[in-house]
Amino acid sequence: MANDAWTGDACSLVDSFRKGEITPPEALELSLAAIAGSALNAFSYVDADTARRAAEQADVTLPFGGVPIGIKELESVEGWPLTEGSLVFAERMATYTSTHVRRMLGAGAVLAGQTTASEFGGINVTSTRLHGITRNPWNLERTPGGSSGGTAAAVAGGLVPIASGGDGGGSIRIPAGFTGMFGLKSNFGRIPKGPFVHQVPHTVTIGCISRSVRDTARWYDVCNGYDPHDTHSLPRVEGWEAGLGSHRQELRGKKAVVTVDLGVAVVHPEVAALVRAGADALIADAGLARVDVAVSFPPALFEWAMANLVTLAADLGDKYPACEPDLTPEIMLGMNIASHHYDLAMAATAERFRVGAHEVMADLLDEVDFIFCSTNPDVAFGAEGPLPTKVGDVDLMDRFGDIMRVGANQGNLTFPANFAGNPAVSVPVGAVDGLPVGMQIIGRHYEEELLLDLSLMAERERPWPLVVPGSPH
């Protein structure tokens, strides 16, 4: 262990603490050294002194006692930067700690630092003017995705065993898929977002990206449950980790549809083949009944952007439009569109779209229990961006005729679960040209435990690497 970062999952690290095989300070120093020597640019801030004090005092009887973790930079930790990945807020410091982070601290986690994110969590590539380019540990020329790109790179790259993420349009599932990690977007409201919660849009959930299903289950054991600061937070549910693997009989005979592209996205043929094979294998393992149902989700980008730009406009306040030169091009474009076109009619259009998308999801999940599709349309693209305009031999401009819709091809696979608030997971199913491919499974409201059990079957039957071979980078 002396020269390597921890390459197991977080639960196994806690087990090793309890057996006396390694101590929390030793594990933290391995992580700090890995972060310092990394080429991934996965951390934007490291709080080594505070982390060392916490590791020295760690209670290893707690669920995450002594485990070094990363916190996505869009979350608030008192005394840490609260930049949201933007030059506009480069000097801003957090004055409070979020409920989510406080619960992890109460479970014994050691906060190593902040993981990088795309600016305001707005796009699917983690490259900002404030922090530079975050890279995928499978190939440093490729992106780990976004917005939780630093989290995915740090976990897959061997820097920390688990880290927090957020998902407002795919920002946990997309980077989990690009880096071969496990990512759950829970039911809307499962983990509270307080304090100081924006009430719109109703699309964002928070959670983690992990190396194993049990790590995610333990994270939810710690963090789920009602908080009065978040009026949309759900009542607490017990037994996430203890219940893993206990729903096999309940799963048998449930209905599943396999629709790689959700009837709307362009997916690379080799990615599609891996997803279909992964879905076939898992459906057989679980004893699900595969059914053929017509699936056609409406394409979205403008509508998703309009819903989220309300929050961004509130954050920027009177700094806009003077701050435009500090914004990444994609964020500046979005704000320009919103400032010139966002009125009551546009707000109504976005809300009608959200309601319509929810009805499509509800009708589909009235016929089936699970939707199997691809997490991403292709493997990870260039680390600097921009979003790709081709998938395989398909020119997306020819297909969609609109650069905005071209950019939406990535999100059209993940947006639907956010619009409708449904839980969804990304599970690794193989690789194309040495880059991971993720399979997405969308489930019914409040049934995360069934998604976790399906994911556990996939993990046991077809294990994925817990860290990228040769990491940390």
**DSSP string covering 119-184:** GGG-SSS-EETTTEE--BTTBTTB---SSSHHHHHHHHTTS-SEEEEEESSSTTHHHHHHHT-EEE
Per the CB < 8 A criterion, the answer to whether 166 and 192 are in contact is no
Identity (one letter) of the amino acid at 73?
E
CA distance 147 to 206: 12
Domains and CATH numbers, the chain: 10-302+340-461 (3.90.1300.10)
Which pLDDT score, from 0 to 100, does residue 2 have?
Answer: 35
Expressed in angstroms, the distance from the first to the final Cα of the chain is 16
Alpha carbon dihedral 170, 173, 176, 179, in 10-degree steps, equals -60
Tens place of pLDDT for every residue, the chain, 473 residues? 334 689 999 999 999 999 999 999 999 999 999 999 999 999 999 999 999 999 999 999 999 999 999 999 999 999 999 999 999 999 999 999 999 999 999 999 999 999 999 999 988 999 999 999 999 999 999 999 999 999 999 999 999 999 999 999 999 999 999 999 999 999 999 999 999 987 667 889 999 999 999 999 999 999 999 999 999 999 999 999 999 999 999 999 999 999 999 999 999 999 999 999 999 999 999 999 999 999 999 887 666 666 666 677 777 888 988 998 898 888 887 777 666 655 556 666 777 777 888 899 999 999 999 999 999 999 999 999 988 999 999 999 998 887 777 878 988 999 999 989 999 999 999 999 999 999 999 999 999 999 999 999 999 999 999 999 987 77
β 394-395/390-391 pair status: antiparallel
Which pLDDT score, from 0 to 100, does residue 302 have?
Answer: 61
φ/ψ (deg, to 5) at 429: -130, 15
CA distance 139 to 40: 10
